Amino acid sequence: MNVCLLYRDSDRPGNRAYEDADNIIRDLGLKALFQDSARRLKTDSGKVLSVEEEDPFIAETMRRVMMIPLSSREEVEYRHAVLKDCIRHEDLVRTLYLISCRTLEEWNMLGRGGREKAQQVNPAVKLAESICALRLLCDSLREIRELAAGEDRESGKPLSEGFASEGFRSFFRRLREVFSEEREREALKVLEDISFFMDGGDGGGYRTIKARIVLECGLEDGLKFSSMKLREVSSESLRFFRPGTTMKKLQDLKYSRIPDSFPVDKDPRLSEQARQLEFSVVCSLAGRLNDFLMPEFQTFFDQLKIQAAFYLGAVQLKAQLERFDMDVCFPEVSDRRTLAFRDLKECVMGLRQRVHVIGNTCDMENTDLLIVTGANQGGKSTFLRSIGIAQVMAQCGLPVAAGVFRSGLFPRIFVHFTRREDSSMNSGRLDEELGRMDRIVDLIGEGSLVLLNESFATTTEKEGSLIAYDIVRALGEAGVKILMVTHLLPFAKRMYDERKDDPASGTAFLSAERTLEGIRTFRMIPHPPEMTSFGLDLFEEIVEKHLDGHGGARRE
Amino acid sequence: MDAMEKNGRGDAEFSILDPHGRHREKKELPAYFRDLNLETVLDEMAFNWGSAVRELFHYLPETAEDEKYRRAVYGDVKKEGVFRALEAFVRRTDEAEDLRREKEKVPGTLQHSVWQVREAEVRCAAMMELKEALDREELSSQGLLTFRDILRQKLFSAGESAVRERVNGIMKRIRAFRMVITCEKDRIRVEPGTAAGEYGTLRGEGSGIIKNPFAATPLLTDLEAVCLQVLTKKDPGFFREIREVSDMVGDRRDPLADRFRKEIVFYLSFDTFRREMEEGGFSFAAPSVTESCPFMARGLYDLALACVFRREGKKVVANDFACREGERFFVLTGPNQGGKTTFARSLGQLVYFARIGLDVPAAEANVPFFRDIQSHFSVEESVETGRGKLKEELVRLAPMMEEKRQGTFVVINELFTTAAGYDALIMGRRVLEHFIRLGCMGIFVTHLKELASAHEGAVSLRASLDENRVPTYVIRRGEAEDVPCAETRVKEHRLTYEQLKERLS
């Protein structure tokens, strides 16, 4: 049975993960999101009591799920609905997560997924373990099935009626169908019939549990038992008498009247072989029970653990964001040429530095290329990152840190951020940058979004501008959406001059706002690129001031 | 047409590998096997058909007539229906052998009788099914036609039919026999007959078949033996009849069928391999052997390399060549890593597979008859023998140049690389002249470009490069030339506007 809380019809993503996932995580700083979503915030009426330790499984799951984009509005809304149910019933999603964790842990102790050679155990132990695993499976499935029958704390109605999402409704409905009470009874009956094997013949008190087995077979295989079929099996409780006692002798005498029969408990070899026969029958039944349950539930708990972890992570992440005054919204899916948001915040910075982050507002329709220029230290890179983070979160069905967020879905996202020189890089920096670009071009395809941050700044401005011009033009013509922050002003100016009078060009120019007094507001405003990025401001502020203080010469 | 009658030989004298039914002694691995990487190819064949097939490939048929006999048989084996029938025959015969081994473990018992009856049943069926399948096919090879005639005569003798009838009758009864075993209260009860119903739960989930825990041994366990005792008391007639039939059939082994089983896998293993390779896109052709036509091949490739490449999903480069009037020896020069050795190997393999009577790894080929194949590949200097490399080479070369080796096909890969250039050239020229005088043909891979024009019977071939001096692995006729040393290739990122337009289109 598929869990289908992440996707309507499958537990496997239809899309591939971002090819550039490692760079996306690194350049957008997503690790902070993964970690914070893995920590439970305990609150009491809005007041934070404690933050629990990070659950590495949740962090890893967030990383894996967030790196696989959804491909349609329906898929995104499907997750939104499930997530909204999770927000309403946080306890339920946590319980689902904990049950699957516990089940898998116990199952692993019962030798699931094989053991190492050194730990090889004898077949009888293995069989006993597999029977225990089947019992465990039945118990856990029943527990989950009965969760939905529980009571909703707020409304007092049964939980099953409180779900608004198709995902949860269908999950519990399918579980009731696939693991119906009848199916459970059947499984339990088999477990009961073979209990003589598990309970080691001990029937308690003066009783002993013995098997009763009827088999039919042929002789065609060289007179050996051939094509053996099981007709009956059950466990029967008999009176137990100590061997050698008169009562035991009487009991034996009574049983010896069974026609065409011979005793097996008098001869050690016969007795051993009779046990092997019983073992075969139990093995076969455990195997059949396995076939009866396992194909449906083999990976069920693995999937449930992953999917519950994702929603639990999402719920916890929302709480973390709200703790630092970052309100979230469920984003809207539009066409790929639209990008509009209100009060969008760079949440990684908010979570990590615990500072109040300035939100940006923007409304761009029919735009394929965004060029951001302007003052140094004006918040350009933060702005670009905030869009990138929100885009990744929106594409996997998470809420984003904004008042409103509307954008298209891009199956491929690439980031090309300028990097500090790395000791592991032995080629020149430009070469390294071009190498990364080369790889991106190799992977680019339908529905690509590229974020360029200070690209090609490792060579002269003139050369860098020419490289950027060629690449941006060629990518744009190939239908790639580009959001870029650049210091290459000759390039930005040239683009502006070519495109400012052509609304069909789909190009927008923003600039980091700087008041007349030189104060940076960290807001982006529509503005043509200027031939200065106001680095002089900074130069004055930092260098010259410093020099002043130390009696250095000052330029007039 | 009936070879057996014509030559007055018995059944066991019939061979599907040799028209005269000669037995070949076991032969050591020929020296050229390793050089031509034929072991790799044999590995593939042995993988599906067991390592016993290997030694069938270790010797070549003696005469051109023998080669033709095999090629005709292989022509028939390639037909789908014939292949399936022969394959089934081999499987059946192996099954009978397994049964024979079982029965020999338990002489004199009731179990022995049952195994013996079953073995007889399988052997009869194997021959009968093969005969019927071959009757449906259009055979054209002398080998298979003769074999079919022998089979027909064998199967329709009166004694044979009577045996078949009794064997089939008792086997039917054995198969139909059922009994019920009830385990309860530390006792086991056994009755002939069937029990109604099936274990009630989980119906439809699995067939209800229980694996016999004692199946690991073919012998009866104590439990099975005691159950059998109870049964023989209840139905003695049935078990007596089994013994009677078994005594009647006796040992059914047949020398003709045995030898045929051993030899036919020569064709089957190669054909299985050929089909797999053809699925991977590698072609094979039945070579022609016209002496009046030139030695030639089109689309020739190294089969051992192809085995490796097929697993990796890569393609091999194929080459064409054709000898002209009077040309005896190819002298191949070219850059390192340019495909020279591979070509030399593929040429050796071409001759080998043509000579052994099978298809060759090429799209088309004409291969005249060669008495044998000889090869000499340079090896790493041996520390163990303590001899210098040149000496080592000469020691190995000398026997190859004996008078009795005339008319062979010779593959030489890099001789005298450690000798001074002047010496090496003189030695190389002498070797070449010697082999040509012996009436041999072959290929000489060398760095010595002067060798290419050393003799009028020599043809100069060259491993070619493309315009960027990158090896193409294509081998062509051409003057030998000096080879440029290392070439540096500049890494480009292909990010100009034009390149991007092309990449993104």
**H or E element that contains B413:** strand B409-413
How do A520-526 and A404-407 pair as beta strands? unpaired
Q: What pLDDT is recorded for position B193?
A: 85
Contact B494 A263 (CB under 8 A): no
DSSP B476: E
Residues of A in contact with B497 (CB under 8 A): 470, 473-474
Q: Which chain A residue has its CA at the smallest distance from B202's CA?
A: A186
Residue B151 domain-assigned (yes or no): yes
Residues of A in contact with B186 (CB under 8 A): 210, 255, 263-265
Residue ranges making up the domain that contains B81:
61-173+235-267
How far is it, in rounded angstroms, from Cα A175 to Cα A169? 10
Residues B246 and B163 reside in one and the same domain: yes
Residue labelled with tokens 């992977």:
A443
Contact A190 B202 (CB under 8 A): yes
A48: helix, coil or strand?
Answer: strand
Between B286 and A378, residue with greater pLDDT: B286
How far is it, in rounded angstroms, from Cα B216 to Cα A478? 66
ipTM entry:
0.72
Contact B214 A278 (CB under 8 A): no
**H or E element that contains A21:** helix A21-28
Helix intervals (H) in A298-379:
300-323, 347-353
Residues of B in contact with A223 (CB under 8 A): 110-111, 114, 220, 224, 228
Cα angle, residue A439 at apex, residues A437 and A442 outer, rounded to 5° = 110
CB A358 within 8 A of CB A474: no
Residues B443 and B300 reside in one and the same domain: yes
Give the pLDDT band of residue B472 (cuts 50, 70, 90): confident
Residue B423 clears pLDDT 80, i.e. is over it: no
- Reference B167, options B250, B249, B254; nearest CA is B249
In chain B, what is the straight-line distance between the N-terminal and C-terminal CA atoms, in Å? 67
| Structural domains of chain B, count | 2
CB B467 within 8 A of CB B335: no
Q: Which chain B residue has its CA at the smallest distance from A220's CA?
A: B175
Residues B301 and B436 reside in one and the same domain: yes
Distance from CA of B204 to the nearest CA of A (A): 10
Q: Which chain A residue has its CA at the smallest distance from B229's CA?
A: A260
B373: helix, coil or strand?
Answer: strand
Residue B178 domain-assigned (yes or no): no
For B237-249, the pLDDT digits (tens) are 888 988 899 888 8
CB B368 within 8 A of CB B295: yes
Residues B256 and B380 reside in one and the same domain: no
- For residue B145, CA distances in Å to B69, B79, B262, B457 come to 12, 14, 18, 44
CB A39 within 8 A of CB A53: yes
**H or E element that contains A484:** strand A481-485
CB B192 within 8 A of CB B234: yes
Q: What pLDDT is recorded for position A452?
A: 93
**H or E element that contains A37:** helix A31-37
Residue B381 clears pLDDT 60, i.e. is over it: no
Give the pLDDT band of residue A204 (cuts 50, 70, 90): low
Give the pLDDT band of residue A336 (cuts 50, 70, 90): very high
Q: What pLDDT is recorded for position A31?
A: 93
How far is it, in rounded angstroms, from Cα A51 to Cα A32? 15
Residue B303 clears pLDDT 50, i.e. is over it: yes
Shortest CB distance from A291 goes to which of B177, B178, B206?
B206
Residues of B in contact with A275 (CB under 8 A): none
List of residues 6+ apart from A504 with CB closer than 8 A: none
Q: B356: domain CATH number?
A: 3.40.50.300
Q: Which of B167, B223, B497, B502 to mutate to test the interface with A (most CBs of A within 10 A)?
A: B223
Residue B10 domain-assigned (yes or no): no
Residue B7 clears pLDDT 50, i.e. is over it: no
Residue A154 clears pLDDT 70, i.e. is over it: no
Q: What pLDDT is recorded for position A104?
A: 93
Q: How many CB pairs under 8 A join A and B?
A: 207
With pLDDT > 70 as the criterion, what percentage of chain B qualifies? 88
DSSP A500: T
CB B188 within 8 A of CB A261: yes
Distance from CA of B465 to the nearest CA of A (A): 28
Residue B23 domain-assigned (yes or no): no
Shortest CB distance from A211 goes to which of B180, B183, B493?
B183
Residues B297 and B263 reside in one and the same domain: no
For B45-93, the pLDDT digits (tens) are 898 888 888 889 998 998 999 999 999 999 999 999 999 999 999 999 9
CB A260 within 8 A of CB B230: yes
Residues B405 and B444 reside in one and the same domain: yes
Helices A300-323 and A73-88 pack at an angle, to 10 degrees, of 80
SS (H, E, C) A205-269: CCEEEEEEEEEEEEEEECCEEEEEEEEEEEEEEEECCCCCCHHHHHHHHHHCCCCCEEECCCCHH
Residue A386 clears pLDDT 90, i.e. is over it: yes
What domains, with CATH codes, occur in chain A?
Answer: 120-301 (no CATH), 326-549 (3.40.50.300)
Residues B248 and B391 reside in one and the same domain: no
**H or E element that contains A461:** helix A461-477
CB A305 within 8 A of CB A65: no
Residue B215 domain-assigned (yes or no): no
Residues B248 and B331 reside in one and the same domain: no
Residues B253 and B329 reside in one and the same domain: no
Residues B367 and B243 reside in one and the same domain: no
Residue B18 domain-assigned (yes or no): no
How far is it, in rounded angstroms, from Cα A312 to Cα A56? 13
List of residues 6+ apart from A295 with CB closer than 8 A: none
